[in-house]
Structure 1
Amino acid sequence: MTTLTMRRAAIAIAMMVSLGAAAQSKPIPYPAKGQSAQQQQKDDGYCYSWAKTNTGIDPAAVAAAPPPGPSGPAVGGGERVGGAARGALGGAVIGGIAGDAGKGAAAGAAVGTMAGGARARQNQRNAQASGQAQTQNAMSTYYRAYSACMEGRGYTIK
């Protein structure tokens, strides 16, 4: 996959996630059979527990979870080292043809390190977008179960 293709895929995923986040707010139940506010609160608590049990998804835990994706100084080290090694090898070959393999290897290593860093950043963005999509899918599943429960208890869901 080319860098441009990966970048376009990451942008598309990010757009879908952001659109999903906007459309993925908590469903709002409206009493359709004259339920009191006290009864609605009781039903809401029941359906929260029921949906959590049946889907295995706890919305409070999902909201409290740290942002998905790798982070920290170690991220990207492998891509940079690999890029430097490939760049040095290629640079040494080209430099050997031109008459100075050492300078070619040094230049190739520098370019390879930069390319590896770009690859590491792209991989990190892709992992983060994927994690956000998984979170949105989990919440969507939970909200469908919650809505089904509330509708079964006589509420209209918007």
Structure 2
Amino acid sequence: MLRMQRVSTGLIAWMLAFGAAAQQPIIYPAKGQSPQKQNSDTADCQLWAKQNTGVDPVAIAQQSGQPSAPQQQGGRVRGAAGGAAVGAAVGAIAGDAGKGAAAGAVTGTVVGGTRQRRSNQAAAEQQQAGQQQASQQMATFNRAVAACMTGRGYTVQ
């Protein structure tokens, strides 16, 4: 189960990265600009886009290259231990600490597992939201670069 979650998270990250790369504008020198002129204009337009959109593609790439937080583990064991302790205390009051500990351990295992799953799911959703935001920021940056290059006489698709 944990491995499937990691694989699916990795696939989502790959698809978003691929999608962002696929959105980069294709620029054609419509007025016969030289490759050197096109490179210079592209660098100028990227700087202009960064200043006007506030989007820094290098920072976004560095953030997306950082590993995600590892999935939490051991929630069931911690839950079982806590449940057993509480169950033993309640069972001692009722006259049978062993049965109380066993019942508490079972309940604690279920509760601990549920908490762990919820926590891991929330972390995955937060990571996905961050990746989606990065993709939107890159789309904005690429639109700004395209507008600048169009203004300099290039055809942009």
Normalised by the size of structure 2, how large is the TM-score? 0.68
Partners of 1:56 and 1:130 in 2: CA distance: 19
Pick one of 24, 33, 38 that aligns with 1:40.
Answer: 38
Partners of 1:55 and 1:110 in 2: CA distance: 49
1:134-149 residue pairs with structure 2 within 5 A? 134-149=133-148
1:32–1:156 contact (8 Å) kept in structure 2: yes
Shift of 1:157: 1.3
Q: Is 1:103–2:102 an aligned residue pair?
A: yes
Letter in 1 for 2:49: A
> Corresponding residue for 1:61?
59
Evaluate the alpha carbon distance shift between residue 69 and residue 38 of structure 1 in structure 2; reply closer, same or farther with a 3 A threshold: closer
Gaps of at least 5 residues in structure 1 are: 1-6
Partners of 1:76 and 1:123 in 2: CA distance: 11
Letter in 2 for 1:114: G
Shift of 1:135: 0.9
How well do the aligned residues superpose, as a CA RMSD in angstroms?
A: 3.7
2:20–2:135 contact (8 Å) kept in structure 1: no
Gaps of at least 5 residues in structure 2 are: none
Q: Is 1:29–2:27 an aligned residue pair?
A: yes
Higher mean C-alpha displacement, 29-38 vs 137-146: 29-38
Partners of 1:46 and 1:66 in 2: CA distance: 25
Letter in 2 for 1:32: A
Partners of 1:23 and 1:62 in 2: CA distance: 11
Letter in 2 for 1:130: A
- Percent identity over the alignment is 35
Partners of 1:157 and 1:150 in 2: CA distance: 7
SS of the residue 1:65 aligns to: helix
Shift of 1:59: 1.0
